[in-house]
Structure 1
Amino acid sequence: MQFDDGRGEFSDVIRARAPRGLRDQVKAVAAQKGMSSAELIRLAITSYIANTSEGGAASAGV
């Protein structure tokens, strides 16, 4: 049985600082791809981890 805390599938929060203008770039690219900014960022992070870690996607938790 899994515990449901009501926060959905992506309950962990990660915060990061970025250069000015990056948020707008992310929003624009996400809109072009038909996804949310959060989805684009999750995809970018998991892809980066999968491509740079030993063990690939298994270590990224995807």
Structure 2
Amino acid sequence: MAGWRADAGGVRGGGARRGRGGAGATSPLVGVVAEATTLRTALACLVAFPVLAWLLARTLREPV
């Protein structure tokens, strides 16, 4: 694939930018999970993150 390279930390996109929302926090976590388990488990995490974010957002109070 064009734009992809393998480095010491695994495989990651060469065109990735930092500072784009929560991607900077979740990408290393998904990489660690993928290396420790299977790709299927890592992709399941990607499905779970929005659900967890929604559940966390439900705990916020209305502003006054």
What TM-score, normalized to structure 2? Answer: 0.34
Higher strand share: 2
Instruction: Return the index of the structure with the highest Cα Rg.
Output: 2
